Structure 1
Amino acid sequence: MNRKRNVLISVTAALLSGLLVYGIYVLQLRQVKFQETVDVVVPVRFVAAGERLKPDLLGVRQIAKASYSEEMLLAKDGLNGMEVVVPLGANEPLLRWKVDKFRLLPDKSQSTFGIPRDYVLSVSNGIRAGDKVMVYASGESAASERLFEDAVTVASVKTAGNMEIDDVKNSSLMSTASGDKEAMYASRRDAIGMIDYINLNLTEEQWLRLDSLCKSGKSKVVIAYSPESLDVGVAAAGDSP
């Protein structure tokens, strides 16, 4: 009887020892895994939504390999000129979905507004969809002023026949249908034509301010091309082979 009990105790002790050794092994593996690091791209400062990324805004940070996800970006290549979709905190890993190069659609706080022709005093004729523009107010009874502090995005520009200005050799519509974003963007850039209608991505507050200012007819808006669009164009050209 004592012999059986001794054997049982020995077997139990051996099992417990084996479990203890295995537990220590697992903990060591986890420790080693967490000690392994990977370099990910991070912004060096806070970046507001809508801001264009530039090389001096981006840095590299080491994180534990166990914390890495496939959405995190490992290289800065191709990020120059990309637009930030949501605010980015300093040194937070940059995720793919947080940047976009072709932001013709309004963000969550915006809608696309067609600006009535009688609201517009002048519009730069070189403006194309995707460009950034500055909006100014001009009127006889009030001093001219910049209507919005920041540049806004052009959703589309159209002719008097309500046709979107496009590249006749490379239709934006066909590029969109084939899923070729690069060709779609290029066709909008190369399009030529007289602008009669312009659609802007604005917040509700921005539209209400513009509408209240212009609906009486005493003031109109001047829509000017912004240098921010040039940065995007240079970045896109730099990506081409």
Structure 2
Amino acid sequence: MNRKKNMLISAAAAVMSGMLVYGVYTVQLRQIRFQETLPVVVPKRFVDAGERLTADVLTVKQISKASYEPDMVLDPEEAAGQEAVVPLGSGEPLLDWKIDKYRLLPDRSQSTFQIPREYVKSISNGIRAGDKVLLYVTGQSTASARLFDEPVTVASVKSSANIEIDDPANPNLLSLAEGDKEKMYASRRDANGMIDFVNLNLTEAQWLKLDNLCRDGKIQLVVAFSPESMDVGDTASGEGAGP
């Protein structure tokens, strides 16, 4: 009887000893994993939505491999030249979905629509391609109101001659002839000047709502610059006279 009891005690002790060893091993393994680090890209300072990232804004920060996520950017060259889709915090690991290279292009649910001149009452002269704008409706027989809850993206802005406002140092047509998509994009993004026509990236439902409201001329649009698209150090311009 005592022998059987001793065997049970020995077996229980062996199991407990094994569990203790496994627990110590797990803790040590976790510590080793946290001690192992890898470099990820982070901004040196706060970056506002819409700001183009440059090499001097980016740096590398060591984080533990246990904290690594697959969508973190590891190479600064991959992020340089792209734009922040959302605000980025200083020292915050950069995630690939927070940056985009060609924000002027519509997404899969959108198309680019040129807004007819007669639909527009006024346009903020400070807007440029890539900015976010707010659309308001106004008319003598209706109360003024915001058309869409969310801002929409400006694909391009054009002059009274229906010519795309361009960057003289980097003409869009020259870049088009050279087949250089990045220069084409940069020329549109850096364009500025007096605006008479604006192209917006809209969903089909947004365009149909806008068109149905404005087609009879009784209701017009006010296109206003949205603070969401302000770059660091930029200021919004005042609203200019429209057609």
Does 2:49 correspond to 1:52?
yes
Change (3 A) 1:197 1:112: same
C-alpha distance in 1, partners of 2:228/2:183? 19
**Alignment: residue pair count:** 184
TM-score (norm 2): 0.59
Is the 8 Å Cα contact of residues 50 and 231 (structure 2) preserved in structure 1? no
Q: Indicate the residue corresponding to 1:11 in structure 2.
A: none
Does 2:180 correspond to 1:179?
yes
Is the 8 Å Cα contact of residues 114 and 200 (structure 1) preserved in structure 2? yes
Q: Indicate the residue corresponding to 1:189 in structure 2.
A: 190
Give the aligned residue type for 1:179.
D
Any stretches of 5+ residues in structure 2 without a counterpart?
1-28, 43-47, 52-60, 87-92, 235-243
C-alpha distance in 2, partners of 1:203/1:108? 9
Q: Indicate the residue corresponding to 2:230 in structure 1.
A: 230
Q: CA RMSD in A?
A: 4.0
Q: Indicate the residue corresponding to 2:72 in structure 1.
A: 72
C-alpha distance in 2, partners of 1:211/1:180? 31
Change (3 A) 1:53 1:157: closer
Give the aligned residue type for 1:214.
C
Q: Indicate the residue corresponding to 1:100 in structure 2.
A: 100
C-alpha distance in 1, partners of 2:110/2:98? 17
Q: Indicate the residue corresponding to 2:54 in structure 1.
A: none
Residues 8-36 of structure 1: per-residue CA shift (max 9 Å, x gap): xxxxxxxxxxxxxxxxxxxxxxx799664
Q: By how many angstroms is 1:106 displaced?
A: 0.8
Q: Indicate the residue corresponding to 1:150 in structure 2.
A: 150
Give the aligned residue type for 2:84.
M
Q: Indicate the residue corresponding to 1:4 in structure 2.
A: none
C-alpha distance in 1, partners of 2:126/2:220? 20
Residues 184-211 of structure 1: per-residue CA shift (max 9 Å, x gap): 536643543x322211011222212211
Q: How do 1:1-241 residues align onto structure 2 when only pairs under 5 Å count?
A: 36-38=36-38, 40=40, 52=49, 62=63, 64=65, 72-74=72-74, 82-83=84-85, 95-96=95-96, 99-175=99-175, 177=178, 179=180, 181=182, 184-185=185-186, 188-192=189-193, 194-231=194-231
Residues 36-65 of structure 1: per-residue CA shift (max 9 Å, x gap): 4436569xxxxxxxx9389xxxxx895647
Q: By how many angstroms is 1:134 displaced?
A: 1.1
Is the 8 Å Cα contact of residues 154 and 201 (structure 2) preserved in structure 1? yes
Residues 217-241 of structure 1: per-residue CA shift (max 9 Å, x gap): 211100012222322675xxxxxxx
Q: Indicate the residue corresponding to 1:26 in structure 2.
A: none
Any stretches of 5+ residues in structure 1 without a counterpart?
1-30, 43-50, 55-59, 85-92, 235-241
Q: Between the two proteins, what is the percent identity of the paired residues? A: 51
Is the 8 Å Cα contact of residues 81 and 232 (structure 1) preserved in structure 2? no
Is the 8 Å Cα contact of residues 83 and 99 (structure 2) preserved in structure 1? no
Change (3 A) 1:232 1:146: farther
Higher RCO, 1 or 2 (CA under 8 Å, sep at least 6)? 2
TM-score (norm 1): 0.59
Change (3 A) 1:219 1:180: closer
